[in-house]
Structure 1
Amino acid sequence: MNRTVPAAALAFAVGALLIAGGSYAHRGTPTWLLFVPLALTCAGVVVRTRAPLLCLGLGIVGITIDGFVGPSLGAVLIFTDNLYAAALYGPAGLTRILLGTTSVLAVGAGATAGFLAADWRALAVMGVQAGLVLVTPVLTAVYLREQRDRAAAERARAEQVARLAELDRQAAITAERTQMARELHDMIANHFSAIAIQSTAALSRQDLDRETVRKVMESVRENSVAGMAEMRAMIGLLRQEGDEAESETTRPRLGDADPLVERVRQAGMDVRTRVEGEPRELPPSVDLAGYRILQEALTNALKHGESPISVMVGYERDQVVLRVDNTLSADRRGGLPGAGAGLIGMRERAALVGGRFEAGAVDGEGWRVSAALPTTELNASPSRAWSDSAAEKKNAGGGR
């Protein structure tokens, strides 16, 4: 509004000067009548952006009156702005109608002039003039409108790409946090569970001799040092960049799981292990997943179970199979305490390498954890991953 009012006033002033200079068709009508259509077309300039349809209506009324009393050059020039504003700011359908209508009017005006004058030169002159007055403003508005719409579409596309990039970033952060939480849980829980159980036993038993207490404390110290060493290794791994982060020396291997079994034995549990098939080199992701699943299964058996614990590692043609069985302590048979982070982590690790995972009670008194991890690229696709949802729901209230 602040810009259109001065523009309309300026247009009226220029049109008045043109009328005063004689730029109109002299038909013997009073000169002051020429200011009426000029005022109407200038009124359309005032509302050109806020009400383009009204702008067009005022312009049509003004130019029609001007055609009877003039016409005047000023009203014609301002009417071109009325057409331009209606085509640019009005509905898209109106723009198409205006383009077709003005084209037909321009051709019709040229043909009529040529017929009445019986001269093709009159047709050409009138046709060009009508085209300049009617068609050119609309074509200009169509071009600018297309540019404006294209720019708006580009902005919307850029905003969408930015939103998708932000969603990808958040998903990557969530995945990294989940992986870090899983690694921390698997590393720390095993050592701290052994420390808690051994220290509790040492504190609750008053009949232990000095040598037995010393052995327990040595085991506690060994688990503490091992836990700290793994924590330092993980921190160092997180600080590395690029290919250095894939260092083979820092990756736990399923074939190096003997210390896991030994720590459980030192905590007072009877662990029986057996290996079926010929041990072989496994893909790094499968090797790490198998090690962590075995580590968490032994930790859960240590916290919630009783001796004996049976561990089986089977190397088959296309997969490696892990199975850990233990007897539940009497106070755990009604349901296992905990938030279920261990079961969730094991299930996630198996799914990430396209494997299968099951965990649940066996015969009411035992607990079994089993996992089958593919060792070929075809079978290791995550799309083949599945989990026992029934067992998950059964144990969701008391996962280990």
Structure 2
Amino acid sequence: MSTTSARDWRDWVPEGALALLVLVFALAEASLNDADQWPVVIGLTLAVLLARRASGAALAIVWVVGALHVVLSLPVLTIEAAVAVVAFGCARWGRLATVILSGLSIPAAVGVAALLLIQDPYGFFGRIRVLRQLVDSADYYGAGAGAVLVGAAAVAALVLLAPWLAGLAVRATMRARTSSVRQEEAEQDAARAVRETEQAREIARLREEQARLARDVHDVVGHSLAVILAQAESAQYVEDDQKLKETMATIATSARSSLQDVRQVLTTTRDQPVVVRSGGLDSLVDGVRSSGHEVVSTEIGHPQPLPPELEVVAYRVLQEMLTNAIKHGRRDTPVLCERHWEGELRIEVRNVIRSDELTQPIQLATVGPGGLGAEVGTGEPDGQGVEGMRRRLTAVGGRLDVRRREEPTGATFTATAWLPVRGTS
């Protein structure tokens, strides 16, 4: 036998034992009567057995037993007081309809019993010894049998009403307890959800902080190393000692500035404002020029002071654009850098791609707050850097476009960024 089957069988033990007890007493009492009362005995036993599991069916069986008494003129057994178990079961475990019907059944049954007692006290109830003695005593003392019979009906009402009310009380108590337990569980679940949400937010914050730190370090170190590398390569062709010293001094200056930038990035917390190197965007252009790359810088419109957040984004984006131009562009052609102030800041950097970079597969796309656009091609020099620029720009409502073009001077790579600076003055 499986564990589930054994558990189901044990659940029937309490009512099974009570039904067996009722069956034994009912058979013993029925054997003293002349009438064949086996339908009553079986019906009463089934009603007690089903009082908890199928209280509606138990109530129906009780009414069938009552009808058998009327139709077959069967005497009432004393053990039939066990219908109190059914009254309790209907109120405690029955559905709402069963509870209502069982409650209405009590006065109906008592009314019918009282009417039968008044009409013929020695009919259905003639075998109840206590009732016969009460009626005989009432007649002897002149109290009237009717009063005794009505009193008996009232006692019967209590026999049914008391367990029914007790069942309602237990039902209400258990529901209140269940509701309290569920409310406590709901509160615990809510508290757990709050904790998990806070943990998830903290994890997301830490990951975002880690990603921000990685982007900043990538931009600073990548740009500085590209500039230093370009300066070191140009130093190989310097024959004049004085110029060589100047070049090495420029390399040292670039390294110190890079170290300062890295320290500033690593020591800046999320709540602290990030500052860029003095000189702003012009300092980036000057740094690339010092590495030996020719940079043609153009600024159109009236420059506007930027909020710290936008200033950092513009600085890092231009830094990454120039880094890609140094790493992947030809040294014998100028890097074109344009800044347009037309209600928004548009930064564009264009360079001719080296021949050894043309075979590198690239995916280009217009990127903005809504995600990737429809511009797709090949030829992106640094996917990680472009992704970093995209994240920075989308965070402030900007957008990015990167693409490769075939021009008479050679294949060119163009990166264009837009920053919403309207109303920032």
TM tier relative to shorter chain: 0.5 to 0.7
Report the CA distance between 1:303 and its aligned residue: 0.9
- In structure 2, the residue matched to 1:218 is 249
Choose the corresponding residue for 2:178, options 148, 154, 173.
Answer: 148
Report the CA distance between 1:284 and its aligned residue: 2.6
For structure 1, which segment, 331-340 or 99-108, has the greater mean C-alpha deviation from structure 2 after superposition?
Answer: 331-340
- In structure 2, the residue matched to 1:133 is 163
Deviations 1:249-269 (A, max 9, x none): x42279622221122112211
- In structure 2, the residue matched to 1:394 is none
Q: 1:142 to 1:180 in 2, by over 3 A?
A: farther
**2: CA distance between counterparts of 1:227 and 1:219?**
12
The answer to whether the 8 Å contact 1:41/1:58 transfers is yes
- In structure 1, the residue matched to 2:301 is 277
Taking the TM superposition and a 5 Å limit, the aligned residue runs for 1:1-400 are 52-53=53-54, 70-72=77-79, 75=82, 79=86, 82-83=89-90, 86-87=93-94, 95-113=95-113, 115-116=115-116, 129-134=159-164, 136-138=166-168, 140-141=170-171, 144-145=174-175, 148=178, 151-152=181-182, 155=185, 159=189, 161-162=193-194, 164-200=197-233, 202=235, 205=236, 208=239, 210-238=241-269, 245-247=271-273, 250-252=274-276, 256-306=280-330, 307-316=333-342, 318-334=343-359, 336=379, 340-364=383-407, 365-376=411-422
**1: CA distance between counterparts of 2:257 and 2:117?**
108
Q: 1:173 to 1:110 in 2, by over 3 A?
A: farther
1:112 alignment partner AA: V
Report the CA distance between 1:97 and its aligned residue: 3.5
* Greater Rg over alpha carbons, structure: 2
5+ unaligned residues in a row in structure 1: which ranges? Answer: 88-94, 380-400
1:324 alignment partner AA: V
CA RMSD of aligned residues (A): 4.8
**2: CA distance between counterparts of 1:337 and 1:200?**
24
**2: CA distance between counterparts of 1:12 and 1:315?**
94
Question: What is the DSSP-based 3-state SS (H/G/I as helix, E as strand, rest coil) of the residue aligned with 1:176?
Answer: helix
Deviations 1:221-265 (A, max 9, x none): 223222221222122222x7xxxx334xx4227962222112211
Q: TM-score, normalised by structure 1?
A: 0.66
Report the CA distance between 1:294 and its aligned residue: 0.9
Question: What is the DSSP-based 3-state SS (H/G/I as helix, E as strand, rest coil) of the residue aligned with 2:102?
Answer: helix
Q: 1:35 to 1:172 in 2, by over 3 A?
A: farther
1:299 alignment partner AA: T
In the comparison of the two structures, how many residue pairs are matched?
A: 350
Q: TM-score, normalised by structure 2?
A: 0.63
Deviations 1:28-67 (A, max 9, x none): 69xxx9999998788779xx7xxx45x8878987999899
Deviations 1:354-390 (A, max 9, x none): 122211123452222222211257x9xxxxxxxxxxx
More helix by share: 1
Q: 1:99 to 1:231 in 2, by over 3 A?
A: farther
1:246 alignment partner AA: Q
The answer to whether the 8 Å contact 2:329/2:352 transfers is yes
Identity of aligned residues (%): 21
1:332 alignment partner AA: E
1:375 alignment partner AA: V
**2: CA distance between counterparts of 1:43 and 1:72?**
15
Q: 1:107 to 1:39 in 2, by over 3 A?
A: closer
For structure 1, which segment, 156-165 or 101-110, has the greater mean C-alpha deviation from structure 2 after superposition?
Answer: 156-165
Report the CA distance between 1:345 and its aligned residue: 1.4
